[in-house]
Structure 1
């Protein structure tokens, strides 16, 4: 994962957890994150894997997105990290594009996701997009796929502009710039 402040997504997850205290899955994701940050990568990975099995492919999109996003950070193989980052993006994109349409409601009337499981403010899930794209760009750069990395950086830059001004947004913009420069240096001089 690309380091972005001490994790703006964590703040999003914390806000979400505070809004729905009955959400034990987010609590358990948070516990695994703490294990990883304390240096117990293997135990964090094991707990994330157990949670992933428990949630399942039809589970709550916010849970799947957050879990896959952090599971990627525990991977030893860069291809596995890419796979988990792609799962996180898939969960987020699928949720945003496949939400049920409320008949008779004005367009954009609800900023809360409907469906099974906890109700999520869309802003909570959409706040992940810049970081998801940035992580994918870093994954592709690490796998020597600069064209894919640049494509993800463009998506990261576009989605970061949708965020409110603040420290999280600025830290993402700075991280995008740093990765962009790194990819540019790795490409060498233009031919």
Structure 2
């Protein structure tokens, strides 16, 4: 394939196809390697728990994991990442001759550090179930059993819906945690139907 043909093909491909995503359903992400169902776990602040309670939480998670063979885990930083901004400010500070500007750049870096520390605990923990060739009639009861198992072991969980999945993709691929509603098509919110 020529370079021009590759460019035209890449331009015609959608973002989803470039990421290997076939579609997003109301409860899953469909890829070429199976259908992914996400269970969002609310984290427990283990820093305030006793050693025995931490051990009990680990044992509970172990019970869930050993009962489900096709489980995957994912942890996302559900916060802004300021590293590129801080690197830019460091470079500007080193190149800057004016001491007043250097001081302002240092204050900006300190401000970014404070914001990052305040948001450092914003993590999302996910259990991912990869469905492969399961019959549609068996999927719902299977997922319900997994959710019940998580809740029985004391975990606060929610099966991710379509909006949650789009938000997770935004955080994973772009570190975008500020968007409230993700569009299916770029600029979709500006289209007025019926005119």
Query: TM-score range with shorter-chain normalisation?
Result: under 0.3
Report which of the two has the higher share of helix: 1
Flag the structure with larger Rg: 2
TM-score (norm 1): 0.26
Q: Which has the bigger relative contact order, CA under 8 A and spacing at least 6?
A: 2
Structure showing the higher strand proportion among its residues: 2
Q: TM-score, normalised by structure 2?
A: 0.25
